[in-house]
């Protein structure tokens, strides 16, 4: 391929698409052009090129959990305070929360031990009283086998994700995370385990995983074949 012809047409495209504003070239623009030139050189001696655009889940180094920045320092509140709590509400708790919801709430509370109850209540509006947390812990303890299996599934998902992205450099999607979870659940004899959208969302948020888009140029070098004749044989 003729790189000069490619560069000329590449210049024509932005001039046609955008106004040709005369301005001094900045340092950032020079760096960008040098990077583009390196890409352009990859087309030399190639007969076929394509742009592979793909999305993958990746480690989010700039993760900012803004919703978790509320401070709980205004007053002391105990999550074990049982004053003014009607014990008849205990069964009502179990009727309005799934085990997965209880696990999510307790996990979040344990991650933020200094947060006051008003902050917890604001985040989880169905939690009406501090003793709810105590009841959740009791219920989870009685169903510990399920909880332990869930933790093993999450750990397996993370291990597989890390290997795929950090070691093998492969693209990973939500469907892959779902397959990892189901694979481990089957291994643990949890045949009716279902990967919900909320489960995946919480897993990605906890492990700071986000979706990113990548562009990759694929070129194939032209083969140079020698022509042989039968003359002189």
What is the chain's length? Answer: 233
In sequence order, the β-bridge partners of residue 42 are none
Per-residue confidence (pLDDT) for residue 123, from 0 to 100: 93
Tell me the C-alpha to C-alpha distance, in Å, between residue 167 and each of 40, 152, 206, 218. Answer: 29, 21, 21, 21
Contact call for residues 136 and 106 (beta carbons, < 8 A): yes
Q: What is the pLDDT of residues 171-197, one digit of tens each?
A: 899 999 999 999 999 998 888 899 999
Other CB atoms within 10 Å distance of the CB of residue 73: 8
- Residue 31 is predicted with a pLDDT of 81
pLDDT tens by residue, 95-125:
788 888 888 999 999 999 999 999 999 999 9
- pLDDT score at 74: 38
The full 3-state SS of 63-110, as one line of letters, equals: CCCHHHCCCCCCCCCCCCCCCCCCCCHHHHHHHHCCHHHHHHHHHHHH
Beta bridge partners of 48: 220
Computed over every residue of the chain, the mean pLDDT equals 76
Position with higher pLDDT, 94 vs 176: 176
Q: Check pLDDT > 70 for residue 93.
A: yes
Smallest CA-to-CA distance from 140 within 113, 105, 174 is with 105
Identify the helix (H) or strand (E) that includes residue 40.
Answer: helix 27-41
Per-residue pLDDT of 53-83, as tens digits, reads 567 888 876 444 444 444 444 333 444 443 3
Mean pLDDT check: name the lowest of 12-21, 85-94, 140-149. 85-94
Helix pair 3-17, 27-41: axis angle to 10 deg: 130
Confidence (pLDDT) at 226: 45
Contact (CB, 8 A) for 44 and 10 = no
Which of 105, 139, 100, 101 lies closest to 123 in space, CA to CA? 105
pLDDT at 230 over 50: no
Q: Given the structure tokens 């046609």, which residue do they identify? A: 16
- In Å, what is the CA distance from 219 to each residue of 42, 50, 52, 108, 137? 7, 7, 11, 48, 57
């Amino acid at each position: 391929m003729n790189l000069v012809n490619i560069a000329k047409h590449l210049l024509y495209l932005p001039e046609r698409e955008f106004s040709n504003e005369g301005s001094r070239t900045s340092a950032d623009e020079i760096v960008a052009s040098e990077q583009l030139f390196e890409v352009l050189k990859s087309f030399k001696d190639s007969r076929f090129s394509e742009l592979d655009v793909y999305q993958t889940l990746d480690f989010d180094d700039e993760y900012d959990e803004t919703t978790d920045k509320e401070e709980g320092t205004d007053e002391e509140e105990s999550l074990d305070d049982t004053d003014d709590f009607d014990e008849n509400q205990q069964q009502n708790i179990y009727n309005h929360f799934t085990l997965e919801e209880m696990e999510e709430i307790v996990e979040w509370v344990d991650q933020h031990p200094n947060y006051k109850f008003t902050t917890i209540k604001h985040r989880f509006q169905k939690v009406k009283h501090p003793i709810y947390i105590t009841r959740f812990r009791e219920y989870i303890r009685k169903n510990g086998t399920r909880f332990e299996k869930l933790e093993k599934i999450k750990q397996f998902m993370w291990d597989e994700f890390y290997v795929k992205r950090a070691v093998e450099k492969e693209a990973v999607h939500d469907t892959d995370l779902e397959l990892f979870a189901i694979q481990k659940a089957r291994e643990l004899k949890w045949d009716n385990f279902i990967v919900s959208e909320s489960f995946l969302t919480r897993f990605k948020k906890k492990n700071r995983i986000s979706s990113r888009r990548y562009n990759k140029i694929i070129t194939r070098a032209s083969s140079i074949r020698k022509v042989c004749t039968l003359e002189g044989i």
